[in-house]
Structure 1
Amino acid sequence: MPITSSILEVAKAHPDQLAIVGADQRLTYGELVADSRSLFAAVDSLHGAQSAPPHPAPETEGIPITAVSLTSAFETSRIIAGLAGFRAVSATIDPRWPLNHQVGVITTTGIGVVISDSTDLAEALASSAWTGTVVTLAQLRELEADVAAGALTTAAIGETTTTPPTVRDDAEPFLMLFSSGTTSNPKAFIKTRRQYRDNVAVSSAHLEPFPGVATLAPGPVSYSLTLYAVIECLATGGSVHVADEFDPFTMGARIADEAITRIVAVPAVVRAIAEAARRSPERFRGLDLVVTGGANLPASIRSSLGEVLPETRLISYYGAAEIGFIGDSRDGDGTWITVYDTIGAQVRDDDGMRLPDGEIGTLWIEAAACSYGYVTGTTEDVLRGPDGWASVGDQGRIENGLLQLAGRAGDIAITGGHKVSLPEVERAFEAFSLVGTAGDSGVTGDGGSAGDCGSTGDGGSAGDGRPRLGEVCAIALPDDSLGSIVALVIEVGSGPDAAATMQGTPDKAALPDKAALLAHARAQLAPQFVPRRFYTLDRLPRTVGGKIRRAETVELIMSGQGTRL
């Protein structure tokens, strides 16, 4: 269902139904429609006042681009939803990106208006050749108020008029999204309205964003998972509750007080939910469904949530922002993904030939929601092949119709002629107990961008109460005879930031010796997958979103900063 069509229908039938809810702010559907008229008029006047506006990327078909770079999840959601019913292309830029990356995407893609409270960004753009406009949230709100009151704005803008939102044409560009932005130049791509409607059709069929359901989607709206949760809730007539971050001390009260029954969140938040529910289970009893992005959810998270909230269902889905939803895992160890029936999936070799069942190769997807390609100038990567199938470089295997991910291209090591999935090595240590040896191996996965390591658990204890090894990253190190060898790097939690983010990570004294680690690996893995070396680091390198960076981990070990066991 188109987002604007749904918003207009609910606003007419149930104007007082909540649409977007923050910690201290909320908009009903009726208010969202009224708010959108003043919002678009204000933004449109900012674009119109430019004497030499930036040229938007050709993929936008001439529609001006408005970017939101705010820390407020509520305001970002309000702006994106408000502009959806008008001729506008919206983008969300993570204010935590490196400044040069923010400036780069703004100037390269021809963004015309940036809503940001960052003085540094405003100054950097002012010193560049960019000819667009930066406006703070307060300035935008003031301009909206002037428009709503029918007052004149600045002389340069003149008098503004408002028009109601309308259902837009299928082919019209809708959102500009980005696939990265932390350690590499962000790759931009466009989603048309048809592609987002196709994506909503898939998620509606499998992830249950039903009409009237209250969904909590905590985290920055610059994350594609959070942004999509906002869109899908409004597109299906639900209420989306947002938060700048997940605070377990206050979120439990919101879940209970606002009758939230569905959560869409990254795996780290699901882990925090389980811990918070363990302390105050009565606040979480109403939760029916938790949906998390990233395949191969660590077994410790799945078991912890199931132990404390046995009536709450958990779905871990797999998808790519460029492509859309692909499939999900709902039980067992979570490593095998059921591909949705409207999605095509193939594993191919480097020459594009389809591989037989069980062999690791590059995953190619056929999906109606897939973007056409990347925005000119932001990357030379190709998203779609000549046959229309798309790949973001994920590696995997297919057996008996089920998909198992092996990471991205940088997550595959070639050792002695064998392909080794580094995330698979990490998964084996998810079940390693610091007290004795755990049984079956668990699950992990990167669930993020290329080169990110997975998490082996919560760094403390899983459902059985035994302390776990903590965060690990499997890497490939160069070797003269084998080409490369597999090594495992263990975070020991004594770095300057570890106390705040890695509670429960073992210290050096609590670590097992190399013999115990090897014995566990040999019991869980094929011989070529067994790490030949083990290292510790005080702190594994991470993205701003908390994902471990594999390539940077290799650099730290190669430069001698790790301790070899």
Structure 2
Amino acid sequence: MPITSRILEVATADPDRLALVGSPSGGCASDESADSAEGSRAPRSLTYAQLVRDSATMFAAVDALHRAQTDPPTPAPETHGIPITAVSLTSAFETSRIIAGLAGFRAVSATIDPRWPLDHQVGVITTTGIGLVISDSTRLAEALAAAGWTGTVITATDFQAREAAIDPADTAPPTVREASEPFLMLFSSGTTSNPKAFIKTRQQYRDNVAVSSAHLEPLPGVATLAPGPVSYSLTLYAVVESLATGGSVHVADDFDPFTMGARIADEAITRVVAVPAVVKALAEAARRTPENFHGLDLVVTGGANLPASIRSALADVLPGARLISYYGAAEIGFIGDSRDGDGTWISIYDTIDVEIRDESGARLPDGEIGTVWIRAAACSDGYVTGTTDAQLRRPDGWATVGDQGRIENGLLQLAGRAGDIAITGGHKVSLPEVERAFEEFDRADPRSGPGRLGEVCAIALPDDGLGNIVALVIEPGAQGSGSHARDGDSTAPDKAALLDHARAELAPQFVPRRFYSLDRLPRTVGGKIRRHETVDLVMSGKAQRL
């Protein structure tokens, strides 16, 4: 169902139903100025009726800004000539308000993470022909001007002032748009490589909502908490799907475990959509104040292979709350989910086709690791011209983002991306599978000392005999180890204990042949470990070999 038709329907039938709710503080300061009104002047919440009313003046302000340009940037051809408006703010509420408000008009919207490297931000804006950027970053504005960009940057404060100056009588109301019309420009990356942009049409988003509605329960009237930057596709989609199904979406700039429990209780939130790291923090917060979380019914998290420790931690403290870990790709849409066990085996949704193929495109038999190909109605047509040479979707409708996996008994198990597979002695080894074997490593062996192991990263290192060997790089836990370690020291566990554990949990070809320690594993701005950068640190001698 289209987002605008449901918004208009609810605004008429139940005008006071909450559509969008921000943090109790009303927003947050911008990335550069604590005095910015990026949330200070905006309301904390909008009902469906208010969202419809305000969207008209919002679009009028956006349209006027685009039309005022004497030499506007040319939008990417995939937008069919529709000007692109990007939001790059730290306020989840303000970002969500703008994306939702523009949905009922001839507009293509995009969210750009202000934490991206500056050159990534400038690159996607200039390459895709974004014409208007709502941002409080003077560094971004200066860099765009230096790059010769002819569009407009406006602060959140100034944009809100322009909205307020428009007479509602001079505006047109939002309407349901044509299915084929471009709706959102999204980005598949922005932390480890140049971002790849792609367009979602309104029909593709409607098809995606149909899948998530059937399996992930964004039901009418349900209050969903979606904490985190709206530039994350998971958070952005939670905003869109909640409004497209008549729910209330509660956003937050980040997950504060000290206040979120009270918010869940006070705002009667029953559903949370969040990345795995937030789910882990939620379980820890619920352990401290379980009374605030008793109303929580469903937790939905993205990313395949959810660590079993997160699932068990949530089940221990909130046995009545269900946890669904879904697998999907922003370019393609929802593919399947896991609801029990260690989360490594994914049930594929009945409207989605999945095949495992080798490098030549031939279909592989069950059990063999290869590239995951998907056929789904919600899949984008391809990447935006100029942002990548990669092919997303073939003419026959099958698409891949390069994920690796295997199928057994009709279930899908992911093995990571192409760079997450090591070929050692002729065997394909999934490096994420090696990492999962250490999720429950508790260092019970006396040689390893007290405490728990920190994060780990499995890598492939070149080897003359085997082609590659598997190595494990660990980030030691917080507690000390051994008689000479002080309380709170970060020390590595014993190599023998790690090796014994690996031999007990993994097939012989998966067992790491070397172990290294780093005080801090390299991560993206979103908290994901950078495997390739970890390899570089090891090869340059910056990791300690155990």
TM-score using structure 2 length = 0.93
How far is the alpha carbon of 1:182 from its aligned partner? Answer: 1.1
Is 1:419–2:450 an aligned residue pair?
A: no
Alignment correspondent of 1:475 = 459
Residue in 2 aligned with 1:155? none
Query: Are the counterparts in 2 of residues 486 and 529 from structure 1 also a CA contact under 8 Å?
Result: yes
1:358 paired residue among 356, 367, 375: 367
Q: CA deviation at 1:404?
A: 0.2
Partners of 1:262 and 1:66 in 2: CA distance: 30
Tell me what 1:17 maps to.
Answer: 17
The residue correspondences of 1:488-499 to structure 2 (distance < 5 A) are 488-492=472-476
The answer for the alignment partner of 1:460 in structure 2 is none
> 1:512 maps to what in 2?
493
- 2:510 aligns to what? 529
Aligned to 1:86: 105
- Aligned ranges for residues 372-411 of structure 1 at < 5 Å? 372-411=381-420
Deviation at 1:206, TM superposition (A): 0.1
User: Contact 1:469–1:506 at 8 Å: present in 2 too?
Assistant: no
Q: Cα offset for 1:403?
A: 0.2
Unaligned stretches of 5+ in structure 2? 27-43, 479-486
Does residue 112 of the first structure (1) align with residue 96 of the second (2)? no
The Cα shift of 1:468 comes to 2.9
**Amino acid in structure 2 at the alignment position of 1:552:** E
Question: Structure 1 residues 259, 420: CA separation in 2 closer, same or farther (over 3 Å shift)?
Answer: same
Distance 1:358 1:507 in 2: 43
**CA deviation after TM superposition for structure 1 residue 333, in Å:** 1.4
Q: CA deviation at 1:513?
A: 1.6
- Map residues 263-302 of structure 1 onto 2, 5 A cutoff: 263-302=272-311
Does residue 66 of structure 1 match 2:85? yes
Contact 2:220 2:246 in 1 (8 A): yes
Quick check: 1:126 aligned with 2:121? no
**Equivalent position SS for 1:368:** coil
**Pairing 1:7-406 to 2, within 5 Å after superposition:** 7-23=7-23, 24=26, 25-148=44-167, 161-406=170-415
Shift of the alpha carbon at 1:384?
Answer: 1.1
> What is the rounded CA distance, in whole Å, between the counterparts of 2:71 and 2:283 in structure 1?
52
The residue type paired with residue 472 of structure 1 is V
SS at match of 1:249: coil
- CA displacement at 1:409 relative to structure 2: 0.1
Paired residues of 1:493 and 1:539 also in contact (CA < 8 A): no
* Counterpart AA for 1:362: T
CA contact 2:56–2:168 (8 Å) conserved in 1: no
In the TM superposition, what is the alpha-carbon distance from 1:148 to its structure 2 partner? 3.5
Cα distance in 1, alignment partners of residues 122 and 330 from structure 2:
22
Hey, what's the Cα distance between the residues in 2 that align with 1:436 and 1:304?
A: 23
The DSSP-based 3-state class of the residue aligned with 1:55 is coil
- 1:548 counterpart SS class: coil
| Conserved? CA contact 1:398–1:404, under 8 Å | yes
| Contact 2:57 2:168 (8 Å CA) reproduced | no
Q: Distance in 1 between matches of 2:343 and 2:452?
A: 19
Q: Is the 8 A contact 1:492 1:507 kept in 2?
A: no
| CA distance, structure 2, for counterparts of residue 38 and residue 291 of structure 1 | 34
SS of the residue 2:74 aligns to: coil
Q: Any conservation in 2 of the 1:493–1:506 contact (CA below 8 Å)?
A: no
- What SS does structure 2 have at the residue aligned with 1:138? helix
Q: 1: CA distance between counterparts of 2:490 and 2:100?
A: 49
Kept in 2: contact 1:187–1:378 (CA 8 A): yes
Alpha-carbon distance between aligned partners in 1 of 2:256 and 2:14, rounded to the nearest angstrom: 31
| Paired amino acid for 1:116 | S
In the aligned structure 2, how far is the partner of 1:274 from the partner of 1:115? 35
Q: Structure 1: how far apart are the matches of 2:168 and 2:100? A: 22
Give the deviation of 1:436 after TM superposition: 4.0
- Displacement of 1:470 in angstroms is 1.6
Q: Distance in 1 between matches of 2:288 and 2:534?
A: 35
Name the aligned partner's letter for residue 535 of structure 2.
V
Taking the aligned partners of 2:343 and 2:167, their CA distance within structure 1 comes to 51
Q: Deviations over 1:211-259 (max 9, x none)?
A: 0000000000000000000000000000000000000111111100000
Q: Deviations over 1:525-551 (max 9, x none)?
A: 111000000000000000000100000
2:279 maps to a residue whose letter is V
Aligned to 1:545: 526
Structure 1 residue 558 corresponds to structure 2 residue 539: yes
Aligned partners of 1:491 and 1:540 also within 8 Å: yes
Give the conservation status (yes or no) of the 8 Å contact 1:432–1:468: yes
> What is the alpha-carbon root mean square deviation over aligned residues?
1.3
Per-residue deviation, 1:407: 0.2
d(CA) in 1 for partners of 2:322 and 2:452? 24
